[in-house]
Amino acid sequence: MSALRFGPGLAIVIALAAIGVGLYLNYRNGDNRIYNHLRYLHLGNRFFIGLGAVVVLSAVGFYWEGLYYLAVVGLVALFGLLAYDAWQLYVIAGHISAERSVPKVLSLSDEMNIRIRVHNDGPKEVSVGLTDELPADLQIRDHHIAFELPGASDRELSYSIRPMTRGEYDFGSINLFLTTSWKLAERRLEIPAGVTVPVYPSILQMQQFTLKAKTTVPASGRKRLRRLAKSYEFDQIKEYVLGDDYRSINWKATGRRNALMVNQYEDERAQRIFCCIDKGRTMLMPFNGLSLLDYAINATLALSNVILTKEDRAGLLTFSDKLGTILPADSKPDHLRRIMEALYHQQDQQVESNYDLLYYAGQKLLGGRSLMILFTNFESNYALDRVLPALRRIARSHQLVVILFENTEIAELLDNPVEGVEDVYLKSTARNFLQQKELMAARLRQNGVRVVLTRPEALSGAVINEYLELKRRGLV
């Protein structure tokens, strides 16, 4: 009787062992087709529930013999249904395809939509769980979308990401986990869809501020006559008349026409505006996932676009302990693209910034008196004391605007309720720190430097408003 009882179970175990040995030998011989199919096959929860029921029946079968044989029949049926479900999934998987639609360029710190279209050209409905291989920079480890996909249909899915660092983002394969209504097995369908997408400074933010700039400042030609610099640009060649400046005589044209010809110039309305970005240690402080440097880069791109829209010339200068990127002020059609590329490649530096180099660049490399908008940060009056002489020298040669950042995390401490002596101390320290920032801004203004003190998340709007105000008052 014992042989009869253990015989069916032993036969099943031997059969499964023989199948396993056969698959191993097949794999050792270099034929990976069966192995690859099984590698993407996963057992479902219902299979393990059924297997648990078989185990319980087998255990109880030691006391009631009929239940044991029922367990054997159930085990054979369970593996048979599993094999049929796996075969169904194999057939269905051949009719499933998917493709991902990613923007050519992602925008730093902005919500970006990623779309995936899944197509089923087979006749059967299938349950799908989608897991996209997202870039490691996003630090998203629980991405999963579950949906039903009827036969002969398409389904478009979308999800949003928010890149918080510049650079290249690598998207991997699209993984679809397919199950039938039986849910005994699950098949993973891996669809190659690798693509690399660059993350540039915030393009969406740049576009949002463009309309505001077009409606806030008077049009060119209605500005006041006060200029940062007096310069001219060529207009035409005309015949000399009494009163024309003899220094503008064009001798080549005079020789060709056998009459005095002079060059005529008009006032150059386009002014030079340089965004100067401090890449030193103080700009590494993070707020809401972005460093101050990245906030400055986003604001520089948005401001440069506004500058070019207002027919001024935008330039760029970055520095730390040495000079970095220097783009001369220009207004050519492709100049915004050049600024964007330069900002994309900026890297922070764990060093103290050298403001004497900034003064040198302002004297030798900027091409005359300009508006310099300096993105920097000082955390103490001692730090400001060290660079204030250089800033005063720069302000004598250029119109200088210094952008300082409020520490929003410290400001939030003032709103917290007081529950003890420690909270009183923290609030007092926070208030003293914020007052120091206000004092630093006041000291800069006393030394002839315009200052914008703003929260990091409001930086772009604040710096653009400052530029527009300077335009309105005729200072640019």
Residue 317 has pLDDT above 80, yes or no: yes
Residue 101 has pLDDT above 70, yes or no: yes
Q: Which of the pair, 220 or 427, is modelled with greater confidence? A: 427
Residue 191 has pLDDT above 80, yes or no: yes
**Scanning the structure block, which residue is given the tokens 């220094």?**
247
pLDDT of residue 95: 94
Contact 177, 150 (CB under 8 A): no
Residue 308 has pLDDT above 70, yes or no: yes
pLDDT of residue 63: 82
Q: How confident is the model at residue 111 (pLDDT cuts 50, 70, 90)?
A: very high
Q: Which of the pair, 231 or 133, is modelled with greater confidence? A: 133
pLDDT of residue 327: 94
Contact 356, 390 (CB under 8 A): yes
Residue 105 has pLDDT above 70, yes or no: yes
Which domains are seen in the chain, by residue range? 2-93 (no CATH), 96-200 (2.60.40.10), 203-223+270-472 (3.40.50.410), 232-267 (no CATH)
**Scanning the structure block, which residue is given the tokens 């897991």?**
131
Residue 86 has pLDDT above 60, yes or no: yes
Model confidence over 242-253: pLDDT tens digits? 777 777 888 888
Non-local (6+) Cβ contacts of 401 within 8 A are 371, 372, 373, 374, 449, 450, 451, 452, 466, 470
Model confidence over 417-449: pLDDT tens digits? 777 767 666 777 777 778 888 999 999 999 989
Residue 110 has pLDDT above 80, yes or no: yes
Residue 218 has pLDDT above 60, yes or no: no
Strand-pair category, 112-120 with 126-132 = unpaired
Q: Which DSSP string corresponds to 314-360? A: EEEEEESSSEEEEEEEE--TTHHHHHHHHHHT----SS---HHHHHH
Model confidence over 270-297: pLDDT tens digits? 789 999 999 999 999 888 889 999 999 9
Q: How confident is the model at residue 226 (pLDDT cuts 50, 70, 90)?
A: very low
13 burial (CB, 10 Å; 0-12 / 13-18 / 19+) is: exposed
DSSP H or E segment with residue 411: helix 408-413
Residue 221 has pLDDT above 60, yes or no: no
Chain centroid to Cα 323, Å, comes to 26
pLDDT of residue 49: 92
Q: Which of the pair, 208 or 294, is modelled with greater confidence? A: 294
- Average pLDDT over every residue of 115-125: 94
Percent of all residues in the chain with a pLDDT value above 70, rounded to a whole number: 83
Non-local (6+) Cβ contacts of 280 within 8 A are 320, 321, 349, 351, 352, 353
pLDDT of residue 369: 86
pLDDT of residue 241: 78
Model confidence over 334-377: pLDDT tens digits? 999 999 999 999 998 889 999 999 999 999 888 788 999 999 99
Q: Which of the pair, 431 or 225, is modelled with greater confidence? A: 431
DSSP H or E segment with residue 195: strand 195-200
Residue 236 has pLDDT above 80, yes or no: no
Taking alpha carbons only, the member of 328, 320, 319, 325 closest to residue 366 is 328
pLDDT of residue 233: 54
Q: Alpha-carbon dihedral of residues 210, 211, 215, 219, nearest 10 degrees?
A: 50
Q: How confident is the model at residue 39 (pLDDT cuts 50, 70, 90)?
A: confident
pLDDT of residue 423: 66
Q: In the predicted model, what is the mean pLDDT of the chain?
A: 84
DSSP H or E segment with residue 262: strand 261-267
Cβ atoms within 10 Å of 203's Cβ, excluding its own: 19
pLDDT of residue 239: 83
The two tokens of residue 39 are 């590698």
List residues bridging with 295 in a β-sheet: none
**Scanning the structure block, which residue is given the tokens 């309105």?**
472
Q: Which of the pair, 373 or 475, is modelled with greater confidence? A: 373
The two tokens of residue 219 are 């049009």
What per-residue string of b and e applies to 140-157 under the rule 16 or more CB within 10 Å gives b?
eeeeeeeeebeeeeebeb
State the Cα–Cα distance between residues 273 and 369, nearest whole angstrom.
Answer: 10
Percent of all residues in the chain with a pLDDT value above 90, rounded to a whole number: 52
Q: How confident is the model at residue 66 (pLDDT cuts 50, 70, 90)?
A: confident
State the Cα–Cα distance between residues 166 and 30, nearest whole angstrom.
Answer: 43
The two tokens of residue 369 are 């008196």
Residue 219 has pLDDT above 60, yes or no: no
Taking alpha carbons only, the member of 370, 300, 364 closest to residue 336 is 300
Contact 294, 109 (CB under 8 A): yes
Model confidence over 371-413: pLDDT tens digits? 999 999 988 888 899 999 999 999 999 999 999 998 877 777 6
DSSP structure class, residue 417 = P
